[in-house]
């Protein structure tokens, strides 16, 4: 059986495995924190996204990742 790979931005899911930028996936305020928010029903992006559950998950992760990267860049700029 050929499992379909779904991609949104820097994230993908295939065979139930989510892949994305390693620094975000490992960060305490990254992937696991976003999943907890989704599971708690507290993620507006996930709740209002349209499409399959997989697509909604990836849209939410990509949106959070963009904000996360922005925070990282700002913190680095302020520290310089």
The tens digit of pLDDT for each residue in 44-55 reads 999 999 999 999
Q: What is the pTM of this model?
A: 0.90
Residue with tokens 């989704």: 38
Residue pair 19/27 in contact (Cβ under 8 Å)? The answer is no
What is d(CA 63, CA 70) in angstroms, rounded to the nearest whole number?
A: 11
pLDDT at 2: 57
| Residue ranges of the chain with per-residue pLDDT less than 70 | 1-2
Query: Alpha carbon 34 to chain centroid distance?
Result: 7
Enclosing domain of residue 39: 6-79
Q: Is residue 51 part of a domain?
A: yes
Domains contained in the chain, number: 1
Q: Is residue 1 part of a domain?
A: no
What is d(CA 1, CA 23) in angstroms, rounded to the nearest whole number?
A: 32
Q: Is residue 29 part of a domain?
A: yes
Instruction: Give the orientation angle of helix 53-79 with respect to helix 31-39, to 10 degrees.
Output: 130
pLDDT at 3: 76
């Amino acid at each position: 059986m050929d499992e379909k790979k779904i991609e949104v931005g820097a994230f993908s899911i295939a065979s139930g495995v989510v892949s994305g930028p390693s620094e975000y996936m490992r960060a305490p305020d990254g992937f696991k924190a976003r999943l907890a928010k989704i599971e708690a029903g507290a993620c507006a992006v996930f709740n209002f996204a349209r499409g399959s559950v997989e697509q909604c998950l990836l849209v939410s992760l990509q949106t959070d990742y963009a904000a996360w990267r922005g925070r990282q860049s700002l913190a680095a700029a302020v520290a310089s």
